[in-house]
Amino acid sequence: MPASEWTPPDPLASLDPKTRKSAVSPAPYGTEFRQVASVPPVTFCKLLGDAGIPMSESHATVLSPQLTQCTSELILVSDQRATTGSGKKAQSGQGNDAPQNSLFVLAQSDLQGHLRLIRVKMNLEDRDGADDAKARMKSLIETVFRIESWPMPSGLLRSIDYLDPIDRTVAGMRITMKREWGDIPRFNLIIEPAKLNLPPAGRFGPRTG
């Protein structure tokens, strides 16, 4: 037989038609990467505290007994230019009573120990110090993503810089940022990790009876 007419043997030739079809068919389900929260909520809150963000211990929420949360103290962000004499506050002689920017952090979880929501609120009462507040918020968000070993979504930090509205879903994680209604600019950035879809209990357990 000429070499050009030779074909290798079919390794699946001995299989019955049903098994053969199953072997050569595409996988019925694609593998989807989902950004779930892998760090226990109590540990997450502690690691935020270790990173310099003063957090409370986890406690039950007032509105829902099915949720627990930890919250930060009000994080005041000073206008760095005021300390160098280049800011308007320093030039006008304004003291500690001048408006200050601030951040507030809340991490909420369910009773099963899954982190469900992280909210960072930024209050921009001092427009001159907005850049310092945004830089502090970006650093805080980077800390959150580093604790959970999540990759930083492209454009997220830039959106904070420009105070752009955000509403996007990345690998099952929803990220939103909106301005609250009112004269004072207040922004809420909310991160909702993807939910871990576990099979019903006993689905893969041994059969009985």
Question: Residue 209: which pLDDT band, with cuts at 50, 70 and 90?
Answer: very low
Q: Please give the structure tokens belonging to residue 49.
A: 């505290």
Higher confidence at residue 177 or residue 89? 177
Q: Which residue intervals of the chain are DSSP H helices?
A: 17-24, 41-50, 80-84, 88-92, 130-148, 156-162
pLDDT of residue 204: 44
Q: Is the dihedral of CA 80, 83, 86, 90 positive or negative?
A: positive
Question: What is the average pLDDT across 154-159?
Answer: 97
Helix (H) or strand (E) holding 122: strand 115-123
Higher confidence at residue 87 or residue 108? 108
The 10 Å Cβ neighbour count of residue 134 is 20
pTM equals 0.74
Give the pLDDT confidence of 161-178 residue by residue, as tens digits: 999 999 999 999 999 999
| Contact predicate 71/106, CB 8 Å | yes
Question: What is the average pLDDT across 134-145?
Answer: 98
Taking alpha carbons only, the member of 187, 195, 32 closest to residue 115 is 195
Q: For tokens 């226990």, what's the residue? A: 40
